[in-house]
A and B are shown apart, each in its own frame.
Chain A
Amino acid sequence: MLSVSHVTKYYDTVKAVDDLSFEVQDGEIFGLLGVNGAGKTTTFRMIIGLLEPTKGKILLNGKPIDYQVTDTIGFLTEERSLLTKLTVLEQAIYYGTLKGMRKEKIEERLDYWLNRFGMSEYKNRKIKELSKGNQQKIQFITAILHEPKLLILDEPFTGLDPINVELFMEVIREFKEKGSSIIFSSHRMEHVELFCEKLVILVKGECVLEGSLKEIKKDYRKKNIHIIGDVSIDKLKEVPGVLDVQNLANEIVVKIKSDKEIDDVFEVVKKGKNVTEFKVEDATLNEIFLSKVGEAYDK
């Protein structure tokens, strides 16, 4: 279990992270979200021991972060962190040995993962010769090669096509099932929504929202109503509590303040023609994120 407790980090006089606390249980996928400069990378750097918190404590399975603990952490950085002049095998041996692995074990695991990602033929190719997507796969492989107890993934899907995104997700879920704690950061909220159970949203180093995804969505009062049919847009807009009406290609999306407006909207829809769908959904994580981040910036 990872425990981040009241962590604050100053760079000179600039506060990068402000009293941040969260816990990631074994076998849990945790989302650390925020816009650029929100303090995500600083938090990751503190978790892997690159930076010392100015205040607060970070513990992994009850132990403070040191070089023995970091051997059990896998880290995928947002930017490519590969030595491009090395071959895939040399790179794996380099990072694997730094994690305390033996050469034979590294090669055995590398063969497995290269095969799994359909890249066996690239084993002895230089990293600079690979495409961006394949480099990202190699970076991911080097992060999981030692089967980490804590896996930190900073924007893991950058440069990947949908098929490989699915493959990555499958592997991440496997690690979750094996009991690894996973911290995940992405600007793509649909990815976070797909498999994060708990999350934190940071704005200017400060936590503006935290909890389980289900509870966050439940607590967020604004809803979306999806309508398929010929319904008057103007009349929908006139309903009190309706925030916005979007007339999309094959559906109308009505954003409402809370559950209370559902009946009033339904009354307008009943008067329409050819109505085949009327569906009330929770707001998307993207909307929640935009709303919370916007509120925090307004403050």
Chain B
Amino acid sequence: MTNKLKFLVKQSLDKKIKTKWFKIVNVVLLLLLIFIANVDTVVSFFGGDFNEEIQVFVEDQVGGYDLFVENLTNMASVMQSSQKYAIEKVNDISEYKEGLKDENKETILIQILPDEGNYLKANVISYHEVGMISLGVIQSAINTVKETVAISESGLSEEEILALTSPVVVTTEITNEEESENKEMVSSVVSLVIILPCFFLILMLVQMIGAEINDEKTTRSMEIIISNVSPKAHFLSKIISSTCFVGIQGVLLLLYGAIALFSRSLFTSSELISSGTVTSLTSIMEIVKTSGVIDLLIQGLPFLILLFLSSFLLYAIVAGVLASMTTSIEDFQQLQTPMMLIIMIGYYLALMAVQFDGAIFIKFVAFVPMLSFLLSPVLFFLGQMTLLELGLSTLINIFFTWLVFRYGLRIYKVGILNYSSNKLWRKMFHSLKNK
């Protein structure tokens, strides 16, 4: 029987891997991941309106032109990293007003005028509507000019003015050593590297098991198979082969991810990085390193592996049982929808864990089987769950997986040879009593 189980596992795995579609899909996945990792570089490469300079003509009647230019450049580098301004001082902007319509590039005319009550006022003139961010940047620069003009009229010395207008240096210090310094970054990294791929792999796993069992059921080849191997061996073969498949696909995805990140460091020009348009791989790695994720990963790795493995097995078992109960792939697709929504709940709760730091509900759900693999790692990396709690969550999941296999097998034995949906649930509940 062991040989037959091995054969069934191999047969099922070969059917999934030794196909041209598996190869094609993986090449496409690799290319897509490389594209996603370099999407900003690609967008920049092809150019467009976004990297055209905005021509700014300034008529300054208060003597704050240099200050305005300095402030506009600084503000723009913070708020509009890719936007460049060509600023030029003019004596009278009315000369340029007529020609605004014919200008090839976006042109803005700014008139800074003195104002008796409010120190200064400004007019912004353009042919097209100025973008919200650009207008905000211009307004902030003018406000700063106004503050400086006001301070200079107050009789303060140059040093005092400089000290007053220079930005306040704010340093942060977190005394809790276990607390991660970059919570949002940790959450993003865990979601992107672990949760999201797992989510897709589970979807793949559920679909595959459902399709395979339904195929064997609808063609009645199930009768021939089950007359030669026990339903238990058959069920195990489906679970093992599908879990192996998603394991292989998962490793490949990680590999493709690494290749994609490497390609980013190759294709991204240093000019783009220095301009702040794209973030370098080194800086991402630096943030991950300083956030303490790697240390936590090493500590929790055995539990995390067991948690993910048992969760994949759990989903495979549930999908196998549901597939055995249905008589067509359409029925299975309907029956699996609630299961998919359960994963969605876990996924969203995992994303919300950063905002709702210490939420009791989220922590409770992190111990619930089928959801724990999505939530526990995130809470653990965010420092909201201890290593012991992660271990407990893993144990609960393993126990639940065993329980579902034990009782699910009873349903499976009856389900795979049932071709009628008449009194289905009664039959299935009845089968739970059969050992």
Contacts and interface: CB of A to CB of B under 8 A. Distances in A.
Interface in B30-67: none
Contact of A71 (B228, B423, B427): B228
Contacts of B215: 83, 85
Interface in A31-51: 45, 48-51
- Size category, A interface: 20 to 34
Interface in A60-114: 67, 70-71, 73, 75, 77, 79-85, 94-95, 97-100
B7 A48 contact: no
Nearest to A84: B219
Interface in B1-32: 1, 4, 7, 11
Contact of A81 (B224, B230, B423): B224
Interface string B121-163: 0000000000000000000000000000000000000000000
Most buried by B among A45, A80, A81, A142: A81
Contacts of B427: 12
Nearest to B434: A52
A21 to B, nearest CB: 22
Contact of B220 (A12, A79, A98): A79
Contact of B223 (A45, A71, A97): A45
Contacts of B222: 81
B368 interface: no
B410 to A, nearest CB: 14
B4 A81 contact: no
B334 interface: no
B252 interface: no
Given A83-B215, A98-B4, A98-B7, A67 B229 contact: yes
Interface in B209-252: 215-216, 219-230
B113 interface: no
B223 A67 contact: no
B396 interface: no
Contact of B228 (A12, A84, A99): A99
B105 to A, nearest CB: 60
A269 B297 CA distance: 102
A100 B1 CA distance: 9
B415 to A, nearest CB: 13
Which residue of B215, B219, B226 has the most chain A CB atoms within 10 A of its CB atom? Answer: B219
A84 to B, nearest CB: 6
A75 B227 CA distance: 9
A83 B417 contact: no
Contacts of A77: 220, 223-224
A81 B417 CA distance: 13
A81 to B, nearest CB: 4
A128 to B, nearest CB: 10
Contacts of B423: 12
Contacts of A49: 227
Interface in A1-55: 12, 45, 48-51
A100 B377 CA distance: 45
Interface string A110-147: 00000000000000000000000000000000100000
B224 to A, nearest CB: 5
A98 B6 CA distance: 11
Of B11, B216, B219, B227, most buried by chain A (CB within 10 Å of CB) is B227
Contacts of B221: 81-83
Given A50-B417, A75-B227, A81 B7 contact: no
Nearest to A83: B221
Nearest to A142: B224
A81 B227 contact: no
Contacts of B230: 67
A95 B224 contact: yes
A188 B106 CA distance: 87
B219 A80 contact: yes
A70 B227 contact: yes
A167 B220 CA distance: 25
A299 B1 CA distance: 48
A13 to B, nearest CB: 11
Contacts of A82: 219, 221
A83 B216 contact: yes
A71 B1 CA distance: 11
A285 B124 CA distance: 104
B220 to A, nearest CB: 4
Nearest to B233: A67
A280 to B, nearest CB: 45
Contacts of B224: 75, 77, 81, 95, 98, 142
Nearest to B417: A50
Nearest to B227: A48
A199 to B, nearest CB: 24
B219 A81 contact: yes
Contacts of B223: 45, 48, 50, 75, 77, 81
B227 A97 contact: no
Contacts of B216: 83
A181 to B, nearest CB: 16
A94 B226 contact: no
Contacts of A70: 227-228
B226 A50 contact: yes
Interface in B239-296: none
A97 B216 CA distance: 17
A73 to B, nearest CB: 7
B213 to A, nearest CB: 12
Interface of B: 1, 4, 7, 11, 215-216, 219-230, 417, 423, 427, 430
Interface of A: 12, 45, 48-51, 67, 70-71, 73, 75, 77, 79-85, 94-95, 97-100, 142
Q: Which 4 A-B pairs have the closest CB atoms?
A: A98-B228, A81-B220, A48-B227, A81-B221
23 contacts: A12-B423, A12-B430, A45-B417, A48-B227, A50-B226, A50-B417, A67-B229, A71-B228, A73-B227, A75-B223, A75-B224, A77-B224, A80-B220, A81-B219, A81-B220, A81-B221, A81-B224, A83-B215, A83-B216, A84-B219, A85-B215, A98-B224, A99-B228
Given A77-B224, A81-B224, 18 more contacts: A45-B223, A49-B227, A50-B223, A50-B226, A67-B228, A67-B230, A70-B228, A75-B224, A81-B221, A81-B222, A82-B221, A83-B216, A94-B11, A97-B4, A98-B4, A98-B224, A99-B228, A100-B4
